[in-house]
Amino acid sequence: MNAYYFIADHNILNIDEHTDAVLAKYGDAADRLYLLLVEYPDEEKAAEACARFREKYAPELNPLDPFVRLEDGSWFSTWKQGKKLGAVFNGNTREKTEELLKMSKQVDE
């Protein structure tokens, strides 16, 4: 996954051979967002991965506001529902990040 969008130098999402994941690019090169969707074998593994991911990738993320502007100026957000986790990376604006996050939740329903 890091070949397409660098997240970390170790497996902070706990992805293994029992985990389905997809990374998709949205927008042109100048305005590109990345959407990650992961499905874990069970809710416990998803919860563990979500907690670790938030702690290591965006510890400044506020539970009351799922959007955060990172050090590089890009917007990031993540969600977990049941045994699924979604994340949006590299947003130029909060609005675009929010739009893709909402779309990812609808696809999941």
CA distance 64 to 47: 17
Q: What is the mean pLDDT of residues 48-55?
A: 93
Strand locations in 1-109 (E): 20-26, 33-39, 67-69, 75-81, 84-91
H or E element at residue 81 = strand 75-81
- Name the nearest CA neighbour of 54 among 36, 74, 79, 17: 79
The predicted pLDDT at position 3 comes to 63
pLDDT over 60 at 109, yes or no = no
Chain mean pLDDT for the chain: 90
pTM over 0.85: yes
Is 60 exceeded by the pLDDT of residue 100?
Answer: yes
The pLDDT tens digits for 7-35 are 888 889 999 999 999 999 999 988 999 99
